Amino acid sequence: MSEESDALSKILSLLQSQQETANSNALYPDAPVIFSDGVTNFANSEAVVKFYLSRLDPATDGKSDAAQKVAAQVIMSMQSFLNTFLFFERMLDVLTSQGYFDADSIKKLRASQGQS
């Protein structure tokens, strides 16, 4: 199995586990489940940030390419955005330590996006 397919297998397993957790979590029965492939847009003011979660939806006719569609709009205060960023940064460290991501791959991706 190639490294890419092994990584994809790990991600799919994690997503399935998260979906099972979301479906069985009685604490949040009314919370919507939103699948997202990424963030499409980002805007901010002095007080809030706004971004759109998007996903690639397959063509229903089987002939066209998949299309990027907005799945949800998220609006957060600046402080909430910072807290969320730090939470995801911490979770990235956890997932990396569990072998879901490779530290060198993260470093290369950050460099390709102009981050150090």
Residue 98 confidence (pLDDT): 95
pTM (predicted TM-score) = 0.68
Distance CA 87, CA 19 (A): 20
Residue 10 confidence (pLDDT): 79
Distance CA 113, CA 60 (A): 33
Which of the residue ranges 25-29, 81-85, 99-103 would you say has the lowest mean pLDDT?
25-29
Strands 67-77 and 38-44: what pairing? unpaired
Strand order in the sheet with 67-77: 38-44, 48-57, 67-77
Which tens digits make up the pLDDT trace of 50-96?
Answer: 999 999 998 888 888 889 999 999 999 999 999 999 999 999 999 99
